[in-house]
Structure 1
Amino acid sequence: MNVGGDFYFSIGSVEAFERKLDEAQAELGIPSAERIPVSYQDEISSVGALLNFAPTLLLIGVLYWISRRGSASPGGGIFSIGKSRAKLFNKDTDVKVKFKDVAGMDEAKEEIMEFVKFLKEPAKYEKLGAKIPRGAILSGPPGTGKTLLAKATAGEASVPFLSVSGSEFVEMFVGVGSSRVRDLFASAKKNAPCIIFVDEIDAIGKSRGKGGSFGGNDERESTLNQLLVEMDGFGTNEHIVVLAGTNRPDVLDPALMRPGRFDRHITIDRPDVSGRKGIYLVHLGPLRLDEKLKVDISAFAQKLAVLTPGFSGADIANVCNEAALRAARRGSDYVENVDFETAIERVIVGLEKKSRVLSPDEKKTVAYHEAGHAICGWFLEHADPLLKVSIIPRGAGALGYAQYLPPDRYLLSTPQMADRICMTLGGRVSEEIFFGAENITTGAQDDLQKITRMAFEACANYGMNDVIGPVSYGGDRAAKESWTKPFSEKTAEMLDYEVRKMITTAYERTRNLLTAHRDDIDKVARLLLEKEVITREDMIDLLGKRPFASRDDMDKWLDEHRGEKSAPPPIETPPAGDVEDGPLGPAPIPISKSLDDKLML
């Protein structure tokens, strides 16, 4: 019987199968030559093979996806991580800012005009042997227009403008910062003549050798070294100007600041009255103003400029934008004077906290606290002109505030500082007089911080103390930034004693002043409880004019405009407390220069 077909069966092992097969064939008497040959063939499943290579294929796919995704972004793919991320602004379409669009910095524009003239007519200077200035550092407080001035320089010169942030050079990979610096200057040479603007250069330009010599510091220093090499490697025929902006020029490396790299150090400070007027005119232009304001827009801009001391260009732009937003919210077709009033008050002290209802006792405490500030400011000769006192809760925590209109003052004398300290203490002293020392609230906490900082600066930095002498230890700022104090323990004890003595002396003077004017405080506080907001005119009606000659331009301006409805002036708050906080809440964040900046020659 013949049986055909394929048969399938499982075997335990090859050795056992072959042994049993031989035994079966031997029992059957099959000769060796006729026995069944056995051959083996290995077969691998395609699915199994793919599973074996799956991790490798997955890794390759992920790398390919990351590379394709990165190449679609402006920074390039994974293999172009060392490429510069500078954004190139086309001279014909992107850079449209001109010097006419920049106001409030006439001196800085005049100084930087040299770069514009050189980029426009380099041959005029080169034939006399002059070399192009390599670069300029634009330094100043935030919001003063450093980036705007750099763009205007590129716009006036009609050259390409490469803009990059200092932090974009720093990555977790070693050598990326140096590579990006090289690529940035290579791109600049291709587009020459052009302007490179490095914003916040202090991110890579800090002094070397500080903070250790390992980890991120090595990478940052290598980036700075490459920047120094590139700036020093310019040829005389490469018309490339490097502008850099920073708020902290004091931390930059000396090698970066030397002539030949950054030849010009241009300081852009907060604008004065005339500068603020020019900035207002620029930002008022696009607004749809009320016809009454358009009649004499120059006078309106002058009024806003006088009433906003210490404002930077960004602050002014914010005020104008807030005014337009408020006009749109109330459905008006034009931006009116009342919108600017509300906008200024909102920018400085925040919105009214209508949901915060004070108890009668708290409201009375706030009223007498603010009345104490107002009376001190009214009867102290060197106090700033008072404009408004309010006990309406505003902002993050201020339950009341007093607004003053300080002039553009750059120096403070000892009597002026003493009067400011007394004016700042007026709220706490008023609480003590009317409610007793045991009922003093926490509302003066911010006032005490201000006067303590002022007194410490006067003793340790400005040499205004006879015991400490005419020395300067860098003030409170230097003590905070350094691990060690720049003076001995004995001097520290002397400073503690003299600071406390200065404050306690001012406290006694303030107490004597307010005790003598106790009835006046009561009048102002009662009017505050009735109206919640009182103005300079109300103070004059209650107390008469201030018993001092109006030597201050601000006082004269207010007297000339008495009775006019004006925008609520913003609050300039040096540490003396031009905006006094109400009880149980901090004062609004100051916008103007700090005291140590004001006293700096």
Structure 2
Amino acid sequence: MPKAFEDFFGNGNKQQQQQRGGPEGGKRQRQPPLPETPSPPNANIILGTLLGTYVLYKITEPSENGRELTWQTFRTSFLNKGMVDRLVVVNRDMVRVYLRPEAVSLGISRQQQFYFSIGSVASFENNLEKAQNELGIPSNERIPVTFRDEVGLGNAFIHFAPTLLLIGAFMYLSRRVGGAGGGGGAGGQGGGIFGIGKSKAKMFNQESQVKVKFKDVAGADEAKEEIMEFVKFLKNPTAYERLGATIPKGAILSGPPGTGKTLFAKATAGEAGVPFLSVSGSEFVEMFVGVGPSRVRDLFATAKKNAPCIIFVDEIDAIGKARGKGGSFGSNDERESTLNQLLVEMDGFDSSEHVVVLAGTNRSDVLDPALLRPGRFDRHIAIDRPDIGGRAQIFKVHLKPIKTHENMEQLSRKLAALTPGFSGADIRNVCNEAALIAARHLKDQVDEHDFEQAIERVIAGLEKKSRVLSPEEKKTVAYHEAGHAVAGWYLQHADPLLKVSIIPRGVAALGYAQYLPKDQYLYSVKQMLDRMCMTLGGRVSEQIFFDTITTGAHDDLQKVTKMAYAQVTVYGMNEKVGPMSFDDPQAEQQFQKPFSEQTATLIDDEVRSLVNQAYDRTLQLLTERKEEVEKVAQLLLQKEVISREDMEQLLGRRPFNEITIYDEYVQKKVTYSYRFLLEISW
């Protein structure tokens, strides 16, 4: 094990090495008996609390020789008999009675003390003077009264108890933070409240903790090939350095959530066999000034000690946003100071130190340009959502622990075709949900139907069996979904239909239609118009078959409005506005539009015209196909869920020569394999 790991793990590792026979593999030596285990901290705290409580009670406990009197007892037993020598008023609320020596004749011990409480000094003086007047005591023989302020040890302790408790709690918390921070920091050094500037990065031991390899990462072959260069350099740096080449200091892994950025970083560390320091960008910034830069310095110092190693900063946009935006005060100053220190550190360490910095973010567009320049984060690796082939590979990885009798190759292809747009995290969730559904029904194997239900669960949400619709609402939902289905069936550029359901799901979905979109990156004007018409099919169907419209088309109208505005303001697909795009991701926080009021009015008019055009076209289509909508709605009311095969039986095949992604990727492969088997048998 390298010396850097001994420095990191401290004496605990050294003790383990001694028990194993030493790092050089010498002979085993008999270990001396271990010392007695000290009492746990919690037992010591409880014991100290009980002891302190007992001492405080003994201090504040009244004296055993003291006896409290009432005013009447004091007067009749002592004052009237002339036994009182003097009186001492203590702290203006208690009177201590000192008796004459003759009181011993009455059987009173000299050690006996008497006292009584008073409400106020004035009232006590009036009562004493009145009593002495009644007894006829001359002025020169009257009882002397003195006043004294005393602070006992118990009272003093009570006064200082809050301060002592605060100091004790502070010391206890600092020791707890020290115990947790000493081993949790990147360097494993310095604890307590004074170790707040230490990095919170977690180090993973390449020998036992980083088990992820590139075989566990699927669906991103290009990104895997690009990042493999870091692995090759960390494994064999001399092959590059002898030719004068230097490894890039860092790489930005950017992409949507759930695409596997953190998994890629772990796989890089696992393949390279080097230490892996993982930290989140938000852990650098605290409420204390200067903590962020201090943690950045400590992180890079630890990385240099353990070189070669990999630093992975997740969600780097927490500290790496472009400077000079959103004011220059408060936490923004601290964030910029942390970013400046990160820039300095990445320039400070040399490539020969064999430290690679990987960073993950979902918002690479908001990062500071100084962070992305060559010499800091040289490589920009985009990890996007996988295509259908990548999804099939990811399904194969996550289907391995699932107990199923299905053909793994065929199942992964079918599920990949049914999950367009899914990320790696979504695919893993689908496999887990399928296993949960099968376990819920007490099955021994997870079958294909469970996976289909899991996909519906992820897309539309859980079935709301408790949500019972009235007959009128159910009929409205059925005709609404039938309008979507029929409109998409007769529009050439609409996505192929897979399933229609009127079973309530999720929070607000009373019904849904599932389609099979292609992995498409370019859309024409005709394709976008057909998509808008299909989305408006539910609203138009309600208008045709009912006297009124409902709120069920709220989500559809939002989608159509966004699509229309995107055509006019982003893609330049409108003749009157012209080939202009007003989309600027860098200027999200601006408070004024990048166009004039006249242009804004023109954009609104063109968007309204575009939506109305799609609405009129859909109304004409569904009016002509009113009988087909009626058939589909009645079948939905009868079965609640209908498939593509049911639609083909009702309406016939779509009037277009089409090959769906399901036919192309699933059925074609099955047909080819069947033909291959026939040829072998022949």
Q: Do residues 128 (structure 1) and 243 (structure 2) align? A: yes
Per the alignment, residue 461 of structure 1 pairs with 570
Are 2:569 and 2:603, in contact at CA under 8 Å, matched by a contact in 1?
yes
- Which secondary structure does the structure 1 equivalent of 2:271 belong to? helix
Q: Do residues 311 (structure 1) and 419 (structure 2) align? A: no
- Which secondary structure does the structure 2 equivalent of 1:9 belong to? strand
AA partner of residue 377 (structure 1): G
Q: Do residues 359 (structure 1) and 494 (structure 2) align? A: no
Per the alignment, residue 440 of structure 1 pairs with 549
AA partner of residue 390 (structure 1): S
Distance 1:322-1:485 versus aligned 2 partners, 3 A rule: same
Per the alignment, residue 525 of structure 1 pairs with 633
User: Shift of the alpha carbon at 1:312?
Assistant: 0.5
Count of aligned residue pairs for this structure pair: 527
Distance 1:51-1:327 versus aligned 2 partners, 3 A rule: same
Per the alignment, residue 325 of structure 1 pairs with 436
User: Shift of the alpha carbon at 1:186?
Assistant: 0.9
User: Shift of the alpha carbon at 1:306?
Assistant: 1.2
Distance 1:479-1:199 versus aligned 2 partners, 3 A rule: closer
Per the alignment, residue 398 of structure 1 pairs with 509
1:546 to 651, 654, 657: 654
Are 1:277 and 1:305, in contact at CA under 8 Å, matched by a contact in 2?
yes
Are 1:479 and 1:486, in contact at CA under 8 Å, matched by a contact in 2?
no
Distance 1:363-1:50 versus aligned 2 partners, 3 A rule: closer
Q: Do residues 58 (structure 1) and 165 (structure 2) align? A: yes
CA distance in 2, matches of 1:248, 1:365: 42
Distance 1:452-1:416 versus aligned 2 partners, 3 A rule: same
CA distance in 1, matches of 2:325, 2:356: 29
Q: How does 1:186-197 map to 2 (within 5 A)?
A: 186-197=301-312
CA distance in 2, matches of 1:503, 1:540: 30
CA distance in 2, matches of 1:404, 1:380: 13
AA partner of residue 461 (structure 1): V
- Which secondary structure does the structure 2 equivalent of 1:73 belong to? helix
Distance 1:43-1:254 versus aligned 2 partners, 3 A rule: same
Q: Do residues 67 (structure 1) and 67 (structure 2) align? A: no
User: Shift of the alpha carbon at 1:44?
Assistant: 6.6
1:115-138 per-position Cα deviation (integer Å, ceiling 9, x unaligned): 001101111111111122100000
User: Shift of the alpha carbon at 1:483?
Assistant: 1.2
Q: RMSD in angstroms over aligned alpha carbons?
A: 2.4
Greater Rg, structure 1 or structure 2? 2
AA partner of residue 66 (structure 1): L
User: Shift of the alpha carbon at 1:54?
Assistant: 3.6
1:180-221 per-position Cα deviation (integer Å, ceiling 9, x unaligned): 111111111111100000000000000000000000100000
Are 1:406 and 1:554, in contact at CA under 8 Å, matched by a contact in 2?
no
1:264 to 370, 379, 395: 379
Structure 1 unaligned segments of length 5 or more: list them. 1-6, 14-26, 28-40, 564-601
Per the alignment, residue 248 of structure 1 pairs with 363
2:541 to 430, 437, 456: 430
User: Shift of the alpha carbon at 1:344?
Assistant: 1.3
Per the alignment, residue 408 of structure 2 pairs with 297
Per the alignment, residue 577 of structure 1 pairs with none
CA distance in 2, matches of 1:506, 1:537: 28
1:74-122 per-position Cα deviation (integer Å, ceiling 9, x unaligned): 4542111111000000010000100011000100000001100110111
- Which secondary structure does the structure 2 equivalent of 1:245 belong to? strand
AA partner of residue 363 (structure 1): K
Distance 1:556-1:150 versus aligned 2 partners, 3 A rule: closer
Q: How does 1:138-157 map to 2 (within 5 A)?
A: 138-157=253-272
User: Shift of the alpha carbon at 1:308?
Assistant: 1.0
Q: How does 1:342-357 map to 2 (within 5 A)?
A: 342-357=453-468
Distance 1:561-1:435 versus aligned 2 partners, 3 A rule: farther
User: Shift of the alpha carbon at 1:55?
Assistant: 4.5
Runs of 4+ in 1 over 6 A off after TM superposition: 41-44, 477-480, 558-563
Are 1:207 and 1:251, in contact at CA under 8 Å, matched by a contact in 2?
yes
- Which secondary structure does the structure 1 equivalent of 2:87 belong to? coil
CA distance in 2, matches of 1:43, 1:350: 74
Please, which moves more after superposition, 190-199 or 525-534? 525-534
- Which secondary structure does the structure 2 equivalent of 1:398 belong to? coil
User: Shift of the alpha carbon at 1:65?
Assistant: 1.2
Per the alignment, residue 59 of structure 2 pairs with none
User: Shift of the alpha carbon at 1:45?
Assistant: 3.8
1:152-185 per-position Cα deviation (integer Å, ceiling 9, x unaligned): 0000000000000000011111001111111111
Q: How does 1:8-87 map to 2 (within 5 A)?
A: 9-10=86-87, 45-51=152-158, 53-74=160-181, 76-87=191-202
Are 1:523 and 1:542, in contact at CA under 8 Å, matched by a contact in 2?
yes
CA distance in 2, matches of 1:542, 1:57: 84
CA distance in 2, matches of 1:256, 1:320: 38
CA distance in 1, matches of 2:296, 2:617: 60
Are 1:160 and 1:194, in contact at CA under 8 Å, matched by a contact in 2?
yes
AA partner of residue 279 (structure 2): V
Q: Do residues 513 (structure 1) and 656 (structure 2) align? A: no
1:462-514 per-position Cα deviation (integer Å, ceiling 9, x unaligned): 00001001110007x78864311111111100000000000001111111111
User: Shift of the alpha carbon at 1:552?
Assistant: 4.7
User: Shift of the alpha carbon at 1:42?
Assistant: 11
1:526-567 per-position Cα deviation (integer Å, ceiling 9, x unaligned): 11111111111111111111111115544656886999xxxx
1:496 to 601, 604, 607: 604
1:451 to 560, 564, 571: 560
1:565-596 per-position Cα deviation (integer Å, ceiling 9, x unaligned): xxxxxxxxxxxxxxxxxxxxxxxxxxxxxxxx
User: Percentage identity across aligned positions?
Assistant: 69
Are 2:481 and 2:500, in contact at CA under 8 Å, matched by a contact in 1?
yes
Per the alignment, residue 566 of structure 1 pairs with none
